Structure formats: C-alpha cells, structure tokens
C-alpha cells in the first residue's frame, strides 16, 4: 500500500471515500487546502471525504550507512560537502547579480545624463526661437551678412557641429564596443611584471637642458610602438621603440614641452609648451619627414595637458586659464571654457568621448559634459594640485596623481577605491590600453599596480620619474625623469 502522491508507504494513511485512493494524510490535506481537488482524479475533494486507515505503526529501520560511527561520519561529510558546493554556487550567483546591477546602474546614469542634456538643449532652442521672432534677418542684413554672423565665426560654428556629430557617433560605437573589447595581442599577465628588470635608456634630449616633462606611447600604422617625449630643451622626440632609433625631432617651442599627445595610429603628434602654444605635427612631403602643420595660441601661462578625442576630430588642451577644444586637423579653436576653480593642471577625455575629466590646482576632479559644458560631478581628490588624470579603457575607473600619491576612483559610484603609495608625491599616472594595469610615477619610486589584483603592487623600481606611459600592449613602460635627458624603457627583456 503506497501513497498515491509520494509513492512510499504512508506513516498516517487515509483513503478517499470518493476515489478509493490511498494517501499520506499530511500530503493530501496540504494538496486539498491549495487546490480543493483529488490529485489523481481531479474531482472535488474535501478533508471530510478522507477516511483514516488503522494500521500498525512500524519503526523504519535505520539506513546501513548510519548504523556505525564511520558511516555517520561519512554521511555528515557528504552533507557538509553538499552544503559547501551550494554556498559556492550561491556566492557565484551573488557576484553575477552584483555585476549586472553595476552595469545597469552605469547605463541608467548615462541615460539620465543624455536625457538631461537633450532636455536642456530643447529648452534653450525654444527660448531662442521665441526671443528671435523676425528680427535676426534684419540685423543680419545691417551687419553685411545673411544672418549677421562673421564668415570665420560661421565656419567655426559649422565645424563645431560636425565635430559634435562625430563625437556622438563615436560615443555610440564605443559604448557598445567597450563591453566586449578585445585585449591587446601579447598582453602580459600580472605575474609577468615581476620580471620587468630589463632596462634600455636612450638619450633623446639635450645635455644643456636635461629633463623629460611628458611621455606618451601609441601603436603606429605598421604596429610598431611610437613613443613621444617632451623635454625641458623645447624639443619633442618621436622614438621608434621597436627599431630602437629616433623617428623625428620636433622643434619649435620656446621653452619646455609640457604636454604631448599622439593620434590613433601615431599619424599626427600634438605638443603643448610652456610658451602657451599648441602645435600639430605630421609626416608630410617626400620621405615622410615630420614637419609642423599648424599652431595656435592655446593658454596664457603654458599648456598643462593635452588629449586627443577618440573620434580623432578634436584635441583638448588645458592650462591656467581653463580648457579649450581645437580642430585636430587645423588647430582652429572650436570651444573655450574658463576654469571654475582656478588653474586646470591635468585633463583627459573619458573613453566614451562624452565627458571631459579636469584636475585642478585646488585638488578637485571635475567631470564635465563636453556638449552642454555642465559639471556632472566634482570630487575632492587631493589636498594639492592634481598632476595627472587617466581613465581605464572600460571607463569605470579614473586615477589621479597628487601630493598624497595616486588615488583610484570608481566613476560609477563616484567613490574612492584605493590610495596607492609611490614614496611621496605622484607626478604622473597612466593606464595601459586594456585598463588592467596602472603605472604611477613619483618622487620616490615608479610602480605598476594591478586592477584585477585589488590594486596590489606588481612591480616597483627604486628610481623617481616625472612621466610614464605603457607600450600599447604593455610590453614595456616608458619613463622620463626630471634632470635626465634619457627616455628609459623597462621591460621583461632588453628591447
């Protein structure tokens, strides 16, 4: 006699007076309470239709495995193992849910920013349309133009609209690409940095004015690593690290080259100097000789930082009087924004290209929307001037260099996640192209930290540096120091 529900001998059997089926009392009563029907015939059934069956109650024999102490221990061990496996699976599910929630929150914040910007632009356009009425045509005719706007200003406005369209298109492309971005080929793992004891020093700058102020590195069109260093001697030097030779020496600044940037593919170089000028360089003419293509007066008091927009159509410059956006092809000024908190000492584009990150002399990190120019966030980053700002490839983390060292921030939560010691004040910080490794240059040491190692130190060199930059695939770290004319490449093997 078996229960029609469980298929085992019931401990407290009851029989249905309507169908004649046998059930375990507790099981059939629970089923009737939920459904009000017989589980076998699906006819209406109530507790009053159940008739108890009087049987002798036999004690079930103990399983053979539980009849001895070794057997009981095995049972307990098996239950413990099952519990641990279940706990591990639950933790994995929790971590996955947390990651999905973080992505959702980041996308929600981005959507809110876009909606706010579009709403603001709509309101401004409506206000302008209401205020304009029929007067602009008449004023334009009096000013000598169809719309009263000078030809140069009209050209700049048209070019700015083109750049903004390119920015929006590139942002949409990059936001989808960043989620499944491929890692650079040949990227070393975190443990490989412990063997970065190889060192190659190249004398790139003059002995009369030694010192490296800035270093950037980019993959060339042929896949070779091109490093650009700016020095106290007023020269910027392009160095082909794979060939081990100088590709070009760029001369023109009156004073130190304080900032530098390379376009994607290293087809163009941008330099900013203590003389306040921004210069564009390119390989033109016979033999691909590098020459100055354009120049512009960028800032009073010198250029502090440069960054090329991911779309390649604009370049950002920052200085004591604020920041500005220039056409990357002609260096025509497209937009200028005075600083709201004193001098801007560091600046870079967010990987999406929709935000500008500005480090100030007041120690604050400002996150500004490129199109609307509104401040999305302001973080109290350091007690003194910020010397460098760098963003990871996925756009989640930003590192700032300052008097206390290097600080790493989570942009999604706008929260400090790590403070990294470099033996004193930090002069520079740079993520690699994968965003997995962060290099920090300081007055005491130069170090590499791992993002997936909870920002643990992967390698340290006991020499100070003023600037640093990773090889495009993190195969070496290029460093330059104050008072030293050499560019030093640190790698696992001699380059």
> Is residue 465 scored above 90 in pLDDT?
yes
426 in any annotated domain: yes
Residues in Cβ contact with 235 at an 8 Å cutoff, skipping those fewer than 6 apart: 205, 206, 249, 250, 251, 253, 257
Domains in the chain: how many in total? Answer: 2
CATH number of the domain residue 467 falls in = 2.130.10.10
Banded pLDDT at 62 (limits 50, 70, 90): low
Q: What is the mean pLDDT of residues 300-320?
A: 94
Average confidence score pLDDT of the chain: 88
213 in any annotated domain: yes
- End-of-domain residue from the set 59, 80, 98: 59
Whether 408 contacts 417, CB under 8 Å: yes
In terms of residue numbers, what domain contains 20?
A: 1-59
Q: Please say whether the dihedral angle defined by the alpha carbons of residues 192, 197, 198 and 201, taken in this order, is positive or negative.
A: positive
4 in any annotated domain: yes
- End-of-domain residue from the set 41, 59, 77: 59
- pLDDT tens digits, 106-157: 889 889 989 998 998 888 888 878 776 544 434 444 444 455 556 777 777 7
CATH number of the domain residue 41 falls in = 3.30.40.10
126 in any annotated domain: no
- pLDDT tens digits, 289-307: 899 999 999 998 899 999 9
> Is residue 17 scored above 70 in pLDDT?
yes
Q: What is the mean pLDDT of residues 259-264?
A: 94
Residue 177: what pLDDT?
65
Residue 137: what pLDDT?
38
| Pair (224, 367) in one structural domain | yes
181 in any annotated domain: no
Give backbone dihedrals phi and psi of 321, rounded to 5 degrees, phi first: -95, 10
| Tokens, residue 33 | 């309470």
- pLDDT tens digits, 430-457: 999 999 999 999 988 999 999 988 999 9
DSSP H stretches of helix in 133-255:
135-143, 151-179
Distances (CA, A) of 178 to 134, 262, 394, 421: 47, 21, 6, 29
- End-of-domain residue from the set 25, 40, 59: 59
Residue 71: what pLDDT?
81
Would residue 140 be called left, alpha or beta, if left means φ above 0 and alpha means ψ between -120 and 50 degrees? alpha
301 in any annotated domain: yes
218 in any annotated domain: yes
174 in any annotated domain: no
The answer to whether the predicted template modeling score (pTM) of the entire model surpasses 0.75 is: no
């Amino acid at each position: 006699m078996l229960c029609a529900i469980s298929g085992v001998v019931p401990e407290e059997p009851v029989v249905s007076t309507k169908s004649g089926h046998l059930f375990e009392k507790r099981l059939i009563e629970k089923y009737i309470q939920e459904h009000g029907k017989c589980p076998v015939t699906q006819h209406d059934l109530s507790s009053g239709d159940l008739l108890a069956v009087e049987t002798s109650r036999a004690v079930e024999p103990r399983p053979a495995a539980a009849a001895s102490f070794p057997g009981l221990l095995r049972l307990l061990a098996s239950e413990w193992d099952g519990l641990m496996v279940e706990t591990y699976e639950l933790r994995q599910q929790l971590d996955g849910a947390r990651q999905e929630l973080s992505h959702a929150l980041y996308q929600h914040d981005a959507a809110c920013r876009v909606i706010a910007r579009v709403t603001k632009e709509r309101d401004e356009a409506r206000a302008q349309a209401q205020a304009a009425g029929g007067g602009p045509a008449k004023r334009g005719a009096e000013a000598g133009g169809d719309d009263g706007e000078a030809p140069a200003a009209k050209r700049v406005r048209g070019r700015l609209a083109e750049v903004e369209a390119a920015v929006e298109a590139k942002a949409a492309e990059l936001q989808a690409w960043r989620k499944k971005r491929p890692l650079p080929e040949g990227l070393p793992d975190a443990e490989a940095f412990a063997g970065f004891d190889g060192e190659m020093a190249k004398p790139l700058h003059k002995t009369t004015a030694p010192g490296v102020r800035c270093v950037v590195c980019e993959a060339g069109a042929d896949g070779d690593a091109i490093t650009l260093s700016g020095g106290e001697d007023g020269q910027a030097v392009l160095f082909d690290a794979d060939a081990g030779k100088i590709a070009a020496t760029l001369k023109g600044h009156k004073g130190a080259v304080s900032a530098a940037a390379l376009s994607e593919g290293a087809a163009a170089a941008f330099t900013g100097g203590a003389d306040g000028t921004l210069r564009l360089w390119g390989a033109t003419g016979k033999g691909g000789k590098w020459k100055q293509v354009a120049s512009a007066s960028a800032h009073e008091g010198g250029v502090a930082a440069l960054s090329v927009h991911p779309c390649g159509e604009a370049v950002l410059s920052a200085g004591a009087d604020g920041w500005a956006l220039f056409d990357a092809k002609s260096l025509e000024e497209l937009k200028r924004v005075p600083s709201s908190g004193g001098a801007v000492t560091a600046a870079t584009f967010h990987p999406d290209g929709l935000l500008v990150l500005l480090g100030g002399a007041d120690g604050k990190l400002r996150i500004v929307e490129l199109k609307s120019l509104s401040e999305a966030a302001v973080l109290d980053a350091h007690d003194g001037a910020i010397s460098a700002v760098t963003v990871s490839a996925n756009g989640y983390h930003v590192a700032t260099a300052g008097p206390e060292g290097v600080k790493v921030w989570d942009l999604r939560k706008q929260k400090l996640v790590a403070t990294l010691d470099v033996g004193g004040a930090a002069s520079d910080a740079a993520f690699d192209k994968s965003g997995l490794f962060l290099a920090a240059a300081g007055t005491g040491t130069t170090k590499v930290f791992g993002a997936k190692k909870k920002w643990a130190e992967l390698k340290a060199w006991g020499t100070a540096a003023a600037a640093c930059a990773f090889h495009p695939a993190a195969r070496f770290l290029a460093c330059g120091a104050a008072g030293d004319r050499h560019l030093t490449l640190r790698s696992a093997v001699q380059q």
